């Protein structure tokens, strides 16, 4: 009974307390111009963007209960690289911020549901979401030279994969969750879904007030 109440309250508390306005640029808006600044910016970007971080964590938890817990997150990572390169090439993706927010809601809902979804569907979600998350990452590196760009790609790829794998290990080993129906992974899903909903409502508000 207490677990059910907690599952219901987490998104509400989070929606009231989360701050969607947190910075999304690790270098304070400056374009990285060296290998070191490119790498640091890449390492920092997925961490300081709460919506991006939430998706990566939930992706790791969802992947932990599949047969490809180490390989599945690579679909998201590879797609973020592709999305970043689209941004650098000047290709626009429609309603990117809305899609990013909804992708966070979606992956949170998947984990919250306590059910395993097939690998093809999960990989499809990872790939589609990754394309848009990566496109947003690319805003910090547009105009950079090849060396900092490559370092940036390497940085955010490494940190995302590391976080996803760590989140999966946390769910399976530390929380000792035998499956996706366990309470703690589902609570994590509720938190992530709440973050996504908060960011989505912020986008709606911005659209209305524009």
For all residues of the chain together, what is the average pLDDT? Answer: 88
Contact 141, 115 (CB under 8 A): no
Residues 6+ apart with CB under 8 A from 28: none
Q: What is the pLDDT of residues 71-97, one digit of tens each?
A: 999 999 999 999 999 999 999 999 999
Q: What gap in Å lies between CA 189 and CA 111, rounded to an integer?
A: 5
SS3 for 125-149 is HHHHHHHHHHHHHHHHCCCCCHHHH
Burial class (CB in 10 A: 0-12, 13-18, 19+), 4: exposed
Confidence grade of residue 210 (pLDDT, cut at 50, 70, 90)? confident
pTM as predicted: 0.86
Angle 105-108-109 from CA coordinates, rounded to 5°: 85
């Amino acid at each position: 009974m207490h677990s059910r109440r907690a599952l219901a309250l987490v998104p509400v508390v989070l929606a009231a307390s989360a701050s969607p306005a947190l910075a999304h640029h690790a270098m304070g808006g400056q374009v990285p111009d060296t290998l070191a600044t490119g790498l640091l910016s890449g390492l920092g970007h997925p961490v300081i963007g709460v919506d991006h971080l939430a998706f990566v964590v939930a992706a790791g938890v969802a992947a932990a209960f599949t047969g490809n817990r180490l390989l599945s997150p690579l679909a998201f990572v590879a797609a973020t690289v592709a999305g970043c390169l689209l941004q650098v090439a000047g290709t626009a993706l429609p309603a990117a911020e809305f899609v990013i927010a909804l992708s966070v809601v979606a992956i949170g809902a998947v984990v919250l549901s306590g059910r395993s979804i097939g690998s093809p569907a999960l990989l499809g979600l990872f790939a589609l979401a990754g394309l848009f998350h990566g496109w947003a990452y690319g805003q910090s590196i547009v105009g950079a030279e090849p060396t900092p760009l490559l370092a940036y790609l390497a940085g955010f790829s490494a940190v995302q994969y590391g976080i996803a794998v760590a989140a999966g290990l946390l769910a399976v080993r530390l929380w000792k969750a035998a499956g996706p129906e366990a309470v703690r992974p589902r609570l994590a899903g509720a938190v992530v879904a709440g973050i996504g909903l908060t960011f989505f409502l912020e986008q709606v508000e911005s659209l209305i007030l524009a």
